[in-house]
Structure 1
């Protein structure tokens, strides 16, 4: 359960920043003039301080306006969830930039920041793509990437020669100018910010690559490199262009904090606040290399550490029905083995550091989500709803009614269109009950989140359409931004134009799969969701919208009977939202660190494209060697094709929407859950208005989106890390945070990110050396801690030994 989050402190506004100026010069580098704000006291009234609290890893203060206290909760960046700051009383809060000043040096986009950012972007993109094809989806730690950028930047400044200081009457020579461009001196905050933007953009992932992976595995066709790059370019840049058109409408009000950017801003500033960074870096290095060495044990030498379960170990000679039941409920150390109840994992790559920093009240809602998943999935399976008893309990592929894999090639013609007669002879495809519950609970989360946003934010949820100049003047950071050269709107229009025609070229090259009209509709659907998505991201830090299922619903209408066409339809629409949100977050990071918007624009586009190319290269390499594993129903404890399986299974079933998802079809409950979730959200808000003192009616206490979302995240892959993640959270929040507050506040985020980075780095290395990512796998010797036959946790029911 790897993720990123950071609680944030609040104070009332007590000062107003002064106006700053900036300019851009030509050449290979862009220059931002120094902006030195001088805080002044507010002229109207006396500000009342409600209190300031600095939480783990945060050196950034937020200003809170209005009355009353506010609770903030963070949802980590997992799968379809990307950070939820759940604040039922949010009134007016903003990042405090009034006391921020940089080191006075103007250069931000230098050769050093470009190279360092690009190297870390390639590294992050490779880790991201490897984890896409692993049994557990894990985000690349942004704090880890930002810290690595700083280490490389400082090393560059220390190792390479620096220009000699010049007297006032001495003009620099050619050699001095060259050295100054190679190494302009100490690694500055702005360089750090630009390199981090490149690195974070590269590690963001490309939905186009996952679509190409699905096409390669299930449809046995591959695009040439040019078409693949055009698809990567189009999906990355179209959303960026649309986001640019709306960004200034969503960023100029005090409520537009963009919480996802705050953690990275906090980390960047912490390295440049004038304090000695040697001790934190020594601690980071020790934690990183310690975890790097340790990870070889659970990942290769001692896989039993992935999940130790006393019920599995004690049931070796139990009756078959007992072993099967224990495997379904307690097994979870291998891919799609079981629900992993009471399993304890010692593998940090699956545990992650996110639960270290989540507030305990938020984690309680996560526990409710886990409990709901255990009860519901086991109930669906043993009640034989949707024929679940005859199908594996956990899997994301499609089956026949007897539990054998469904061969979709028999129902498709040469252009991958459904043949109705073949469907009648083969029968309809079946999904596992757990996968259906995952779709249902994610839709319940989306519906309840939208209801919460509308109830709490009201018309602000749509305010990009009526934001006024007066509203934009309310934001203190706007005073800094006014002095920086804005990106002209026509730049975004040109970017949209280029992205549109790049995608159109891909569609024309595969005209049989998706028509030009369907392509345009897909872009319109995605673009229409962008303003609302950016609004939620700016206010709540959350972007979960009904785009995945809505895109497939609309795609099933415009591309009915064409599963590959639906996959491409969903790719264009969903990527527009995903890239738009990342683009807006990084623009906000640049704004908070006073980097020119033009520099941020260049940096993001480069990082996204570079990361997409690396994603594509890594995907091709791994799929070439592990393709059969990705097509299997269960996978292994090392590789699992759940992401391409999900894309394909949903596309195939939605291509048969009339038979599977209409009002009389067996899976009608899946799209209906969007409405049910919204009704539950509105009902909870109404009950809270009637009985405000009831805790379970308060959305800040009982968080329906969080409960439903986490209930959907443990229905595939490896599930043995659930209990360990809970224990890490309890230990951190109830003991470490209270007994060792100073260490927790100053070091826990750094140590957690080092653990994440160390585990992920070793997995990247092992994946391409001994685990089969490149060439044939080289398994470790068989012994009690490394069971070659069956599941690694010795829960060998449900045919694990067959």
Structure 2
């Protein structure tokens, strides 16, 4: 890292707090610890390189966990409230099976004394093979974004896309990110300042599951605490998950004013501004932003500030001033509208070549967005330029010094020193994978241009964008646990360069944005292996195999669901209460219409009426400069440095499909964890915070699967007042005079 301690502190504050030197665990021979306080309190500064890592148990349980999580997460992705089953569930589930295999399998050594010598049972089930199983599970826990292309083409557009072409797209987008990860690991994995907060949840759980602990007087061991929290989470989810779904969004304003459009617009947690709405359901809390218990407090504050600014300042001002005919449409919606407030008929403007029919578009008229949907694009534009400027101003010196010393001996923290014992992965391994993958992508796009529409230059341009942005976005993610998105800028660029081709737009976005996002997933796992002292070459192998398994199972599951569930994702035809509404795929499809089919020039350019939103790029570039200048002018005011503009702007990147209730509940829990518990109950936070997060995730996941297998597959449901998740039917109604929408009163 940086040689001078002063520079180190300057770069990482306020993320790093110096702590007193702490002795390592027994036998470590280390008398130092990480400069990041949260890491020092959570990750052991010790290693035992003799522990077996690549075992028969690891292969069997790791591959099974990857396949099972891939199936379950893709299966639940199409539902109204997507149930995200994290790798933590698999991390817990494999423990008893691992111990059983250690007790039952033969310890016979096969091919003893030869090169291929191995044993089915090398001894006690250990933490390092458990970590590798979790790396496999992590590969299956994240839904491949590229499957949105398959859903959009097959379901929404009703066009042809063969399974093998879809598989090539999914595999190449997933593996492409691995190449970027290899190039940037020295910047985003090795430095202590890049601490990846989400990993601390899994590290805490590994310690709970493998370290013996004496119960403190009057307290609980972490194992006991985890078990109690897990049982409570498991038992409780039967209420929001089946018996009382209204707990997902408690929108009490709608109950008080059942006939008021204004009150329901203000109070609806799912279709409005969500004032006072809360979700008493861990699924609604963690579905889109991840666990609030894993978010650093300064990041939580920035997210809350950005959310409040967009939801409660910018959006209502735009709506009640009727900017862009806002009152003609719902205040919060991911649908696309005509100028009269009706749903836009997309199929009417597509010709037989799967291209925009301009005469038909002129006849249908311009496309309009809801107020909030338009503002999310404004924030996304600003976030892009803010990310670049922020990283250059606040981390530029760090990255420059790292670049100059990339091939020299660098100052490391204790974890970097311990990892020096293991053989590193050569750079050319990653470069080879990257080169072959780009070549395969070019070949597939050329041979199947009739299905994918993306020309060869589009592939190379998308790769260039991913390469440029992986580092600055990675710095933000590694220090704040939030990912600034590139989806909008990739859509914007290809939309101008190649308008009228929706599949080309989607493919460009996936190769330019998702390859970068997948790289961040790989880098986060590399940091987990760094913390848990997994040999780098073993990590390389596990990540590659896990990605291949995950891609196959995810696509196979999605294809099966699209072929077997009637009218999946079609909200107009699905029966009332059907869970198969596909909120994420709807947003993806809408974006393909806005940016690909119609194109940004006809919406955000000279031919559109949203052109003023382009000023957001300038706002995003200027805002970090103001914060940086304020920090230089008032260096003693440390709170100024806590203002992270990209995180503030990226706050609403998940909305829609995320809604106000998801954010309200997330911010409240984040406050109690990151501020109250961390500041005033530090010992409790150290022992139990991340353990609680893992227990809540696991309990929810197991009960969610059980409810579906036991009741959902048999279509056994309840019909009563508590079954309605929001109870705000008027929240999506327009308030402009004379606009007629089915189910809504007409204003005069």
Tell me the TM-score normalized by structure 2.
0.83
The SS at the match of 1:561 is: coil
Pair 283,253 (structure 1): closer, same or farther in 2 beyond 3 Å:
closer
**1:213-292, aligned counterparts within 5 Å?**
213-248=151-186, 251-253=189-191, 255-275=193-213, 280-292=222-234
Shift of 1:217: 2.0
Q: Does 2:307 align with 1:370?
A: yes
Q: Does 1:581 align with 2:581?
A: no
Q: Aligned partners of 2:428 and 2:380: how far apart in 1?
A: 37
1:557 aligns with 2:496: yes
Answer yes or no: is 1:38 the counterpart of 2:29: yes
Task: Report the CA distance shift for 1:339/1:133 in structure 2 as closer, same or farther (over 3 A).
Answer: farther
Deviation of 1:100 after TM superposition, in Å, equals 0.6
1:135-179: CA deviation from partner (whole Å, max 9, x where unpaired): 456764454443344444234324x24538xxxxxx9899xx999
Segment of structure 1 superposing worse, 554-563 or 477-486: 477-486
Asked whether 1:650 is paired with 2:588, we answer no
Q: How does 1:127-142 map to 2 (within 5 A)?
A: 127-130=72-75, 132-135=77-80, 140-142=85-87
| Correspondence for 1:305 among 236, 247, 256 | 247
Among 245, 261, 275, the residue aligned to 1:324: 261
Q: Which residue of 1 aligns with 2:55?
A: 110
Q: Quick one: structure 1 residues 427 and 172, their matched pair in 2 at CA, closer, same or farther if it must change by over 3 Å?
A: closer
Q: Deviations over 1:589-629 (max 9, x none)?
A: 22333322221111111212222223223323444526454
Kept after mapping to 1: 8 A contact 2:386/2:646:
yes
Counterpart CA distance in 2 for 1:740 and 1:680 is 35
CA contact (8 A) 1:8 1:60 kept: no
Q: Counterparts of 1:610 and 1:219 in 2: how far apart (Å)?
A: 28
Alignment of 1:754 onto 2:686: no
Distance 1:618 1:562 in 2: 27
User: Alignment partner for residue 603 of structure 1, among 539, 542, 547?
Assistant: 542
Instruction: Indicate conservation of the 8 Å contact 2:186/2:406, yes or no.
Output: no
Question: For residues 32-58 of structure 1, what are the alpha-carbon distances to aligned partners after superposition, in whole Å with 9 as ceiling and x for unaligned?
Answer: xxx9753379xxxxxxx9999568x95
Q: Distance in 1 between matches of 2:679 and 2:164?
A: 55
Q: Which residue of 2 aligns with 1:11?
A: 19
Q: CA contact under 8 A between 1:59 and 1:270: conserved in structure 2?
A: no
The aligned counterpart of 1:780 is 717
Deviation, 1:124, is: 3.0
1:526 is matched with 466
Helix, strand or coil: the match of 1:206? coil
| Inter-CA distance 636–391: structure 2 relative to 1 (3 Å threshold) | farther
Structure 1 stretch 638-647 or stretch 419-428: which is displaced more? 638-647
CA pair 704-432 structure 1, distance change in 2 beyond 3 A: same
Cα offset, 1:234, TM superposition: 0.6
Specify the alignment match of 2:626 in structure 1. Answer: 683
On the 8 A contact 2:336/2:344 being kept in 1, the answer is yes
- Separation in 2, partners of 1:730, 1:195: 32
Tell me which of 268, 281, 285 is aligned to 1:347. 281
Tell me whether 1:439 sits opposite 2:377 in the alignment. Answer: yes
Q: Which runs of 5+ in 1 are unaligned?
A: 1-6, 18-34, 42-48, 62-98, 165-170
What's 2:737 paired with?
none
Is 2:295–2:480's contact at 8 Å kept on the other side of the alignment?
no
Q: Is the 8 A contact 1:447 1:681 kept in 2?
A: no
After TM superposition, the structure 1 = structure 2 runs for residues 168-183 of structure 1, keeping only pairs within 5 Å, are 181-183=119-121
Residues 196 and 527, structure 2, Cα contact 8 Å, conserved in 1? yes
Unaligned runs of 5+ in 2: 1-14, 734-740
Shift of 1:182: 2.8
Is this contact kept in 1: 2:107–2:120, CA < 8 A?
no
1:193 and 1:593 in contact (8 A); partners too: yes
Distance across 2 between alignment mates of 1:551 and 1:537 = 19
1:667–1:301 distance in 2 versus 1, CA, 3 Å: same
Matched, 1:511 2:449: yes
Could you state the TM-score of these two structures normalised by the residue count of structure 1?
A: 0.78
Q: Determine the structure 1 residue equivalent to 2:615.
A: 672
Deviation at 1:588, TM superposition (A): 2.8
CA root-mean-square deviation: 3.9
Q: Deviations over 1:53-96 (max 9, x none)?
A: 568x95227xxxxxxxxxxxxxxxxxxxxxxxxxxxxxxxxxxx
For each residue in 1:669-695, what CA deviation from the matched residue of structure 2 results, as whole angstroms up to 9, or x when unmatched? 444323311201111211232234567
Instruction: Show the counterpart of 1:708.
Output: 649
| In 2: Cα distance, 1:40 partner to 1:730 partner | 34
The alignment covers a number of residue pairs equal to 707
Instruction: Indicate how the Cα distance of structure 1 residues 734 and 499 shifts in structure 2: closer, same or farther if over 3 A, else same.
Output: closer
* Structure-2 residue corresponding to 1:190: 128
Corresponding residue for residue 44 of structure 1: none
- Map of 2:386 onto structure 1: 448
Within 5 Å, give how 1:533-548 maps onto structure 2.
Answer: 533-537=473-477, 543-544=483-484, 547-548=486-487
Q: Deviations over 1:4-57 (max 9, x none)?
A: xxx98743678999xxxxxxxxxxxxxxxxx9753379xxxxxxx9999568x9
